[in-house]
Amino acid sequence: MNEGFLANCLFFTANRLSRSVTKIAEEQFAATGLSPMYGYLILLVNGTPGITQKELAEALYVTPSTLTRFIDKLEAKRLVERKVHGKTVQVYSTDKGMELEDTIRQASKNLQSRYREILGEESKQSLNGEIKSASEKLEKK
């Protein structure tokens, strides 16, 4: 049972990557006062007024219940607002949310540069591609 044998187990490597990637994203988004997840959520809402929660959940790769919680928080901060429409909920941006647009876009740009800076354009791309295709296969069961 050598230590470090976990370094080759996808369960650990994937979680490890997720944490380091998230950490850097949080640093770059600090300027916005939002976590990256909420930042991107706002970009989506600003750019697609009336987007439904279901669509948001899919775009952000989180479950509907998680998305409900996110919208709860952003609505409490008056950064987005709900409009119930039958059984679906459409989400709209607010003035306050719109004001953040540029700041968030900039953070997003900075973040991408940071990744490129650290990993190199080359391997950033290929990493992303491999991850994407792996996720698809894994989700398909």
Partner DNA sequence: ATTTATATATTGTATGTACAAACAAAATAA
Partner DNA sequence: TTATTTTGTTTGTACATACAATATATAAAT
Interface contacts to DNA, rule CB under 7 A? 15, 19, 23, 35, 37-38, 52-54, 57, 61-66, 68-73, 82, 86-89
Query: Which of the listed partners (a second copy, DNA, none) does 77 bind, with a CB threshold of 5 to 8 Å by partner kind?
Result: none
Provide the β-strand partners of residue 82. 91
Q: What gap in Å lies between CA 117 and CA 109, rounded to an integer?
A: 12
Nearer to a second copy, 73 or 123 (CB): 123
Site for a second copy in 93-122 (CB under 8 A): 108, 111-112, 115, 118-119
Q: What gap in Å lies between CA 98 and CA 94, rounded to an integer?
A: 6
What is the closest distance, in whole angstroms, from the C-beta atom of residue 90 to DNA in the complex?
7
Query: Which of the listed partners (DNA, a second copy, none) does 88 bind, with a CB threshold of 5 to 8 Å by partner kind?
Result: DNA
Which is it for the CA torsion 121, 127, 129, 135, positive or negative? negative
What is the closest distance, in whole angstroms, from the C-beta atom of residue 35 to DNA in the complex?
4
Count of C-beta atoms within a 10 Å radius of residue 53: 17
Count of helices and strands (H, E) across the chain: 6, 3
Q: Which of 109, 127, 111 is nearest to 13 (CA)?
A: 127
127 belongs to the binding site for a second copy (CB under 8 A):
yes
What is the closest distance, in whole angstroms, from the C-beta atom of residue 56 to DNA in the complex?
8
